[in-house]
Amino acid sequence: MVINIQSIRFKADDHLQAYVQEKVGKLFSVNDKILRADVKISEQSGVNRYQCEIRLAVPGNHLIAKRSAETHKKAVYNAVSTLSRRLRDQKKR
């Protein structure tokens, strides 16, 4: 399980990195063929200040989700939820 975390325009503290590891790590249990996850969290201006982009490397294709929210954690949670739903749908096929 390889999870690369990159923060853009701010410094991610240990608490946020642990949260990302925990939430993104759950995706690996949904699909055991995931090779790695690349997570980019950036700070923007506007109402939804934080954006999270998660890119999963799965054999055959890549799954990408981008979500914005008021907090880092909400953005990560929304992106993980989207990818989890996609992985379950892909598994059904």
pLDDT digits (tens, 9 = 90+) for 71-83: 999 999 999 999 9
Residue 5 has pLDDT above 90, yes or no: yes
Of residues 32 and 56, more confidence is placed in: 56
pLDDT at res. 17: 95
Q: Which domain holds residue 83?
A: 2-92
User: What total number of domains does the chain contain?
Assistant: 1
What is the CATH number for 20? 3.30.160.100
Q: Which of 45, 91, 34, 35 is nearest to 68 (CA)?
A: 45
Separation in Å, CA 46 to CA 65, 66, 77, 79, 86 = 20, 16, 19, 19, 28
> How big is the chain by its Cα radius of gyration, in Å?
13
